[in-house]
Amino acid sequence: MNKTFLITGASSGLGEIFSKSILDIAKTIIAVGRNKNKLVKLKKEINKLKPSIDVFIISTDLSKEEGLKKLFKEFEKQKKIKFVDVLINSAANFTVKKIDKINLKELKNDFQINTISPFMISKYFGLKMKKKKRGTIINIGSSSSYDCSENTSIYCSTKHALLGMTKAFNSELKSYGVKSIFIAPGSMKTAMGRKVKNQDFNTFIDPHEIANIMKYLLINEKSMSIDELKIKRSIYK
């Protein structure tokens, strides 16, 4: 397999771990994040392990419309890659705040990064996939796409919307060979997971296990299709 991947949130956590887990199936990795230094480090690490993989980095802020435009512009600027086989929407922000403390700016910011950017990125690459009649989009949801807990109203709303968006893309693009897969993990041992209070971090899911599942789905896709996966912790404390 010589696939081209575009991974948002590649600079940290699940996106970073997934980027390093696909070296045997990737030809090209477009790593998207905000922090350029972390993306450069990732590129070096990947190329140390496998020099033949082309790693392009795009550093941009997906909470802003200009940041979204920059992603498309940077993609179009390089002439080498015309098509992305697998799009991973992993970048997200997790705001912990009571409803009465939330303002419109924060709400819009997180909807932009968690829902609107994934929608527009999926539209951009999904329509190219539709033309080629192949391609996979993986959207990283959350247990908050189904249930909500106190102080996470923005995150919960954006992740519910992301689930709706994934279903909508399947209803329009699946018949053209473009799959949208929703992965909804519970709390994970990442920087974002550290923000989850009143739960035992030691019981959180190892993101390597989630990355393994994502890869498994991409390898085993000839005759089966999994639209939605809810992944819970084995111990809840």
Ligand X SMILES: NC(=O)c1ccc[n+]([C@@H]2O[C@H](COP(=O)([O-])OP(=O)(O)OC[C@H]3O[C@@H](n4cnc5c(N)ncnc54)[C@H](OP(=O)(O)O)[C@@H]3O)[C@@H](O)[C@H]2O)c1
Helices (H), the chain: 13-21, 36-49, 65-77, 104-111, 117-132, 153-173, 207-219
Q: Which stretch binds ligand X (CB under 6 A): 5-13, 97-105, 168-176, 220-228?
A: 5-13
CA distances from 186 to 158, 164, 203 (A): 16, 18, 10
Q: Does 135 bind ligand X (CB under 6 A)?
A: no
Among 20-28, 49-57, 121-129, 181-189, the segment contacting ligand X (CB under 6 A): 181-189
Please tell me whether residue 37 binds ligand X under the rule CB under 6 A.
no
118 binds ligand X (CB under 6 A): no
Name the residue nearer to ligand X (CB basis): 29 or 188. Answer: 188
Phi, psi dihedral angles at 182 (to 5 degrees): -110, 120
Residues 93-112 that bind ligand X (CB under 6 A): 93
Counting contacts by CB under 6 A, is residue 92 touching ligand X?
yes
Contact 166, 180 (CB under 8 A): yes
Q: What tokens were used for 157?
A: 């709303």
Question: Contacts with ligand X in 43-72 (CB under 6 A)?
Answer: 61-63
122 binds ligand X (CB under 6 A): no
DSSP state of 57: E
Kindly state the smallest distance separating residue 40's Cβ from ligand X, in Å: 11
- Does 126 sit near ligand X (CB under 6 A)? no
Site string for ligand X, 183-202 (x = CB under 6 A): --x-xx-xxxx--x------
Q: Are 19 and 29 in contact (CB under 8 A)?
A: yes
For residue 100, which phi and psi values (nearest 5 degrees)?
Answer: -70, -10
Q: How many residues of this chain bind ligand X (CB under 6 A)?
A: 28
115-135 per-residue burial string, b: 16 or more CB within 10 A, e: under 16: bbbbbbbbebbbeebbeeeeb
4, 90, 136, 170: which one contacts ligand X (CB under 6 A)? 90
Min separation Cβ 84 and ligand X, Å: 17
Residue 3 class from Cβ within 10 Å (0-12 exposed, 13-18 middle, 19+ buried)?
middle
Query: Applying CB under 6 A, does 158 fall inside the site for ligand X?
Result: no
Q: Pick out residues in 203-232 that bind ligand X (CB under 6 A).
A: none
- Sole residue written with tokens 């941009």: 60
Query: Contact positions toward ligand X, by CB under 6 A?
Result: 9, 11-15, 33-35, 38, 61-63, 90-93, 113, 140, 142, 185, 187-188, 190-193, 196
